[in-house]
Every structure is written in C-alpha cells, then in structure tokens.
C-alpha cells in the first residue's frame, strides 16, 4: 500500500515520527552515556559528555552483579526454556493444526484461557508447593514454569506454520507407510523450522528478561538470573549509577544486537498472534 502526500503532510509526518523517535531513544541514550561516566559527573549533569571514558565501570559492574555467574544462570535457564517450549509446543501444534475434530476446540480454549490467567492466580500455591518439594532455587523447576506460561503463545504461533504445510505431503508419506512420528520429524519439522526459530527467539527474549517469577523462585546467591542480580544491585543505597548503567548495558546489549540482526523475525513473531491474515 502506498500513500503519496503533499509536501506539508510529509513534513508534519516526519516531524511527528522524529519526536517519537527522540522520546524513545532518550532514556536509552542516557543509559549508554552514563555507563562510561564516573559517579560524580553523573550527579553534576547526567546529560554532559564524559570528560574521560571510564571503562572500569564495566569491570566493576561485572564483579558487583556477579555476572560471571548470573549471566551463565540466565543463559542456562533461557536455553532450557527454549528447548522445552519448542519440543512440547511443536508436538501440540502438529496435532492441533491437523485435526479438525470438535474435541480439540476444548484444548484450544483451555490454552487461550491460560494465556490470560494472571500469574497471581497460580503463583502462591505454586511457590509454597515447590517449597515443600524443595524446588525453590532450582532453575529446572523455573524452566518448567516458563514453559507452562509461554507455550500457549508458542503453540498458537507454531500452528500457523504447521497449517501452511500442504496436506498432500503428509498423506503421501502416510500412504507410503510412514508412522506419525516419522511424518512429524521428517516431513513437518524441516518445513516448519523457520517457525521454530522464530518461537525460540521470542521465548528466549521473554525468559532472559523475565522478572517476577525469577525473583520469586530463584533467590539463592548462586541461582540469581542476571536481571534479578541487576535489580538487587541497583536497589542498594549509595550506589554508583555509572556502574549500574554499565551493568544494564551488559544485559541489554546482546539482546539489542540480536534484535537488530533478526528484526523481521522478532517483530513478525511477536505481532503474529495478534494480526489477522
């Protein structure tokens, strides 16, 4: 679709978009700028250019937030969640996309409903139940919670990819004597792999950034995720905001780089469940 507009409209449009751009980038710019400034200069003027770049903010942030440990924890938790969601989600999407039987509607309704269930509705019994079984501070248990919370979204997205696979392919394979497992692994998975990659990226982003569940279930010093460790570090009084911004940048940078490189996948995937067509 194309709209060609008068010069005046073009100007107004670009000015508005530019203003929104500045609003969006301003806090991010403050984070980057102050990550390389000493505390005293931030207090003086958070907008001023640094007199000299203070790179040791990053080394201090690394040790203060125990990033050697916590980034590793986040990576392991994220990887486990991605594997769990993609494995269980694609199996379910395979069934949901192919069977048009009424009973599957119930399952679909159930999954849709659980995407809108407030976390507080299951958080408290889950916490005290996990505590009883000694599952607090256990990243595997948290990966399962993430899987339960994120997989309905993943299934709805994967289902559209599974639907796009031609029926003839599946029927031909079944007639040739392939089992459903073989059809799933040999016919479907190679074709829907772009969809699985998209889901992996988005679920990875969600679990890397997740706060409420991580802060509730992983409180041991050795089990903290990077985001929670950052939260605790920045909550201390008399903290050095240069160091805090450096710590923020360490967590955000890999995500932003990945996002800019694979923007289409992120944006289409996250918008995927919400736009018709």
Per CB under 8 A, contacts with other proteins among 184-223 are 184, 205, 208-209, 211-212, 216
Least gap, CB of 99 to other proteins (angstroms) = 7
Return the number of the residue (168 or 274) whose C-beta is nearest other proteins.
274
274 binds other proteins (CB under 8 A): yes
Contact 218, 139 (CB under 8 A): yes
Return the number of the residue (190 or 235) whose C-beta is nearest other proteins.
235
106 binds other proteins (CB under 8 A): no
> DSSP letters along 44-72, please?
H-TTSPPSS--THHHHHHHHHTTHHHHHH
Using left for φ > 0, alpha for ψ between -120 and 50, and beta otherwise, residue 66 falls in: left
Return the number of the residue (118 or 134) whose C-beta is nearest other proteins.
118
Site string for other proteins, 33-72 (x = CB under 8 A): -x-------xx-xxx-------------------------
How far apart (Å, rounded) are the C-alpha atoms in residues 87 and 14?
A: 44
125 binds other proteins (CB under 8 A): yes
Q: Please report, as residue ranges, which positions from 141 to 160 form the binding site for other proteins (by CB under 8 A).
A: 144-145, 147-149, 151-152, 155
Least gap, CB of 177 to other proteins (angstroms) = 15
7 binds other proteins (CB under 8 A): no
H or E element: which one contains 92?
Answer: helix 67-98
Out of 53, 180, 185, 221, the only residue in the binding site for other proteins (CB under 8 A) is 180
Which distant-in-sequence residues (6+ apart) come within 8 Å of 70 by Cβ?
224, 225, 226, 228, 229
Return the number of the residue (79 or 270) whose C-beta is nearest other proteins.
270
175 binds other proteins (CB under 8 A): no
H-type alpha helices, 99-225: 103-115, 119-132, 139-163, 167-175, 180-182, 189-209, 212-217
With CB under 8 A as the contact rule, which of the stretches 54-62, 63-71, 117-125, 165-173 interacts with other proteins?
117-125
Contact 154, 89 (CB under 8 A): yes
CA 34 to chain centre: 26
């Amino acid at each position: 679709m194309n709209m060609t507009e008068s010069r005046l409209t073009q100007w107004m449009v670009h000015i508005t978009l530019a203003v929104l751009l500045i609003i969006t980038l301003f806090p991010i710019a403050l984070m980057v700028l102050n990550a390389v400034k000493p505390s005293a200069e931030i207090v003086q003027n958070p907008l001023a250019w640094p007199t000299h770049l203070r790179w040791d903010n990053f080394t201090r942030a690394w040790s203060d937030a125990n990033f050697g440990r916590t980034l590793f924890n986040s990576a392991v938790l994220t990887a486990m969640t991605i594997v769990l969601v993609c494995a269980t989600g694609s199996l379910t999407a395979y069934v949901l996309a192919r069977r048009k039987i009424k009973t599957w509607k119930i399952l679909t309704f159930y999954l849709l409903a659980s995407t809108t269930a407030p976390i507080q509705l299951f958080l408290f019994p889950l916490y005290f139940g996990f505590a009883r079984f000694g599952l607090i501070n256990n990243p595997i248990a948290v990966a399962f919670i993430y899987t339960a919370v994120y997989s309905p979204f993943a299934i709805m997205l994967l289902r559209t990819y599974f639907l796009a696979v031609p029926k003839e392919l599946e029927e031909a394979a079944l007639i040739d004597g392939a089992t459903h497992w073989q059809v799933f692994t040999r016919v479907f998975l190679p074709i829907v792999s772009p969809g699985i990659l998209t889901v992996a990226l988005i679920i990875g982003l969600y679990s890397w950034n997740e706060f409420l569940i991580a802060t509730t279930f992983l409180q041991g010093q050795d089990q903290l995720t990077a985001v929670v460790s950052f939260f605790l570090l920045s909550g201390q009084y008399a903290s050095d905001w240069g160091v805090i911004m450096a710590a923020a940048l360490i967590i955000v940078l890999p995500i932003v780089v990945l996002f800019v490189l694979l923007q289409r996948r992120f944006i289409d995937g996250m918008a995927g469940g919400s736009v018709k067509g």
